[in-house]
Amino acid sequence: MAVLVDANDPGTADITTRELQVAAQSLGLRTHFLNASTERDLDAAFKKVAQIEAGGLVIGAGVFLASRSKQLAALAVRHAVPTVFESREFVASGGLASYSGNLAVV
């Protein structure tokens, strides 16, 4: 599996990386961490996901990635990559799934 994080958001990227490494190891999954901090990085990351033949992509939290939910959903569809994202907005933009609750209800 592949994980996309924004290394320019170290607090969020570090937490995401650490937690997903532990989870992936416990399931026997190999994890590839990719970085995207710019628009150009997003396209390159999805191309890399195809190159490494990852079975899916988890998009980490953070301001940059969260603000690009429509673009990320479109890239996931274009590259036929099963992708999960933290927020519901990703799903509303056409993404496959989110892994967080509805914060508007809380």
| pLDDT by position in tens, the chain (length 106) | 999 999 888 777 777 788 888 888 899 988 999 999 998 999 999 999 999 999 999 888 888 998 898 899 899 989 999 988 877 777 777 777 776 655 555 5
The whole-angstrom separation of Cα 26 and Cα 84 is: 19
Q: How far is CA 21 from the centre of its chain?
A: 14
Task: Say which residues have a Cβ less than 8 Å from residue 23's Cβ, sequence separation at least 6.
Answer: none
The whole-angstrom separation of Cα 92 and Cα 70 is: 9
Q: pTM for the whole thing?
A: 0.82
The domain locations on the chain are 7-82
Backbone angles phi, psi at 13, to 5 degrees: -60, -40
Of 84, 64, 67, which is closest to residue 76 (Cα–Cα)? 84
